[in-house]
Amino acid sequence: SQVKVLSSQQRRADLRTEEEHTRHKEERRRRLKQLYKQDWDGWCAQVAEAVAPLSKAKLQQRVAELQEAREKERSKAAKAAYERQELAANDEVRIWTAQARMEEMVTRWESDQQAKQTKAQAELEAEQAFYRTWSSKVPVPVEPSNEARGEQAATLREELSTEWAGSIVDRRLRQRSEQLEQQKFLAQWGAFQSTQEQEEAAGEEVTQARERMYIWRDEAATDGDEEPEEEPAFVQAKLTLELDFDKVA
């Protein structure tokens, strides 16, 4: 409740402050209007007082000054118009000059093209005249007779036959050399395969001999402490093993 009372009091105080502010603004505006009206009225009275005592001579002088100012403005306008006309004339002169230069360049280019065409035509005519002179001085080729043609044909056939026979011989020699190379390669490949087979067989024999030796040792170890005599099978196995090692080496 105290908060509500304080808020209502504050609101009333704000309203009073706002009303006073508005009243002060209105009062200030009204005073300014009065001052402006007084100043305007006073200025008008001062102007009337200043103009009233002017004599006729002063009025004429004022009119002359106004006329002079008007004449100056007219002269300025005329000068500006003259400057604009002069600028336009200068632009036209520049355009005419550019057109004349362009026409001169086109004429010069056309004359250069015509001179080039004339020079090319003269060179072509000189070349044709030289060719005509050269062809007139060169003797006309004589056609060979039938006998000469027959001899040329026979010589050509002989050369062709010799060349064909040589090509056949070369081809046969090349085929024979290829066959010999192939046979040599096959023989080397067969020898290599036989050597591989022999080495594989020797390796198998050595492996079998080792297996037999290991089996005999195991059996001898299980029989007792007596040292057994070497059996013929074991002796044969050792001999075979030594022979196999020599063969492999």
Flag whether 162 is in a domain: no
Provide the residue range defining the domain that includes 236: 180-249
Among 166-170, 187-191, 220-224, 232-236, name the one with the lowest average pLDDT.
232-236
Q: Is residue 82 pLDDT above 80, yes or no?
A: yes
Work out the percent of the chain whose per-residue pLDDT is above 70: 65
Among 10-19, 43-52, 190-199, name the one with the lowest average pLDDT.
43-52
- Same-domain check for residues 60 and 41: no
Phi-psi group of 174: left, alpha or beta (phi > 0 → left; psi -120 to 50 → alpha; rest → beta): alpha
Q: What pLDDT is stored for residue 44 in this prediction?
A: 64
Please write down the long-range contacts of 76-84, taking CB distance under 8 Å and 24 or more positions apart: none
Flag whether 41 is in a domain: yes
The answer to whether the beta carbons of residues 209 and 244 sit under 8 Å apart is: yes
Q: What pLDDT is stored for residue 69 in this prediction?
A: 84
- Same-domain check for residues 122 and 98: yes
Number of structural domains in the chain: 3
Residue 77 tokens read as 């306008």
Convert the pLDDT of each residue in 24-39 to its tens digit: 788 878 777 776 676 6
- Same-domain check for residues 42 and 64: no
* Mean predicted lDDT score pLDDT of the chain: 74
The span from the first CA to the last CA of the chain, in angstroms, equals: 127
> Sign (positive/negative) of CA torsion 16, 17, 21, 27?
positive
Max mean pLDDT range (66-75, 107-116, 207-216): 107-116
Residue located via tokens 């008008």 = 44
Convert the pLDDT of each residue in 125-158 to its tens digit: 888 887 777 666 656 566 667 777 778 777 777 7
Vertex 86, ends 82 and 92: CA angle to 5°?
Answer: 145
